[in-house]
Structure 1
C-alpha cells in the first residue's frame, strides 16, 4: 500500500488540533526535567542528575520536533522562541536540525537526506558517526539553506558559544555538567534519532519503524511512534498514540517493524 492510499484510509486531520491543556503540555513538557536536572547538579549529585538530564534531552527533542512541523499549537514567534531557547540548552542549532529534518522527510534515506546517513550503517558505526553527524547537520545548513535559516543558525551558534565561554570561564560546575551531558546526547543522535527508527527500511523509507507497548512509549514520551510520524508529520506527538490506534484498526495487516 502506498503512502497516498494509507492517508485516504485513516482519519487524521482532526488530530492536528490541540486543546489548551495539550498545548501547554507540548510547550512545557521539558521544563520539569530541566529544572530537576539543574537542581541536582547544583547540589553536586551528578550521577543522580544523569537520568533527569536524559529525560530533559528527550522531552526537549519532542518539543522542538513538534516545532519543526508547526505542531506546538502556538504562533510563529513562540515556536521560534522555543527552538531558540532549546538551542542554547541543548548545545546545537535547532534551526540547523530543522532544515535537515525537513529535507529528511522530503528525500527520506536518499543521497540528499543528510540527516538519514546513519540509517544504512551498523549500530556501532552509527554511534561512532555521531560527532560527524552533528558537524554535517550544521555544514549542510550553511551550504544549502536560505538566508533566513543561515541567520538563525548563526545567532544560535553565537549564543551557544557565549554561554559555553561564560560557564567555563567562571567555572560554574553544575552548568559545565549540563553542557557536557548535552554534547554527549547530541553525539548519540545519529544512533537514537536515526538508526533505531530507520535501519533496514530502505525498500520503503516512508514506512519507518515504530513502537508498540504502553510502558515503552510512556518511558520514551511517544517519540518512537516514528512510522506514524512519517506518514502524518503534521500530527503533534501527544496525538500519536491515538493515530497509532486508528492505523492498527483500519490496517491491521500493515507490517510494523519495531524500534526495540
Structure 2
C-alpha cells in the first residue's frame, strides 16, 4: 500500500484546526526553555543550562516546522515573524531551512532532496556531515529559490550577523554561550532531524520512521511522529498523537519502523 492509498483510509482533515489554547501552545512552546537556559547561563550555571538549551532548540524546531506548513494557526505575517525571530535565536536562516524542507517533501530522498541527503549515510557520517549541511541548505536556497525566499534569507543572515557582532564585541558571555549551543545544535540537526527518521526507508520514502511510547514522545515533544507528518504534513504537531492513534486503529498491519 503506497502513501496515497494510506491517506484515503484515515480521517485527518478535522485535525488541521487549532483551538486558541493549542495555538498559544504551538506559538510559545519554546519560550520557557529559552528563558530558563538564558537565565541559568546569566547566573553562570552553564552545565545546568545545557539541557534547557537542548529543549529550546527542539521546541523551536517544532515551532518553525509548523510554520513551514502553515500549521501555527496564525496569519501570514505572524508566521513570517516567528520564522524570522527564530532565525536570529537559532543561528540559521529558517527560510533557507524551509525552502529545503518543502523540497524534501516534494522530492523525498531523491537526488533533488538536499535536506534528505544524510539518510543514505552511516550514523557517524551524518553527524560529521552537519557543518556541510548547514552551508548547503543556504547555497541551494541561493541557487534555486525565488526572490522572496532569497530576500528573507539575506535579511535573516544580516540580522544574525548584527546580533552576533554585538554579542562578541561587548563580550556578553551568557549570550555567547547561547550562540555556541545553537551552532552546535545546527550541526547535529541533520543527524537528529533527518537521519534518525529516514535511514533505511528508501524503498518507500514517504513511510518515514515513527515513534511509539508515551514518555519517549513526551520527552521529544512529539517530533518523532515523522511517518504521520509525511503522510499528513498539514496536521499540526500537537495533533500528531491523535493522528497516530487513528492510523494504528485503521491500519494495524502497517509496518512502522521505530525511530529509537
TM bucket, shorter chain? over 0.9
**Equivalent residues in 2 for 1:1-260 (5 A)?**
1-260=1-260
List per-residue Cα deviations over 1:52-75 (Å, max 9, x = no partner). 000000000000000000000000
1:172-228 per-residue CA deviation (whole Å, 9 max, x = no partner) reads: 000000000000000001100100000000000000000000000000000000000
- What SS class does the counterpart of residue 37 from structure 2 fall into? helix
Question: Secondary structure of the equivalent of 1:116?
Answer: helix
Return the offset for 1:5: 1.0
Q: Which runs of 4+ in 1 moved over 4 A?
A: none
Shift of residue 4, structure 1, vs aligned partner: 1.4
Gaps of 5+ in 1: none
Q: CA RMSD in A?
A: 0.3
Aligned counterparts of 1:33 and 1:229: Cα–Cα separation in 2: 24
How far the C-alpha of 1:124 sits from its partner, in A, is: 0.2
Secondary structure of the 2:184 match is helix
Looking at structure 1, the residues matched to 197 and 173 of structure 2 have their Cα atoms a distance apart, in angstroms, of: 35
Question: Could you say what secondary structure the match of 2:115 adopts?
Answer: coil
Looking at structure 2, the residues matched to 47 and 222 of structure 1 have their Cα atoms a distance apart, in angstroms, of 26
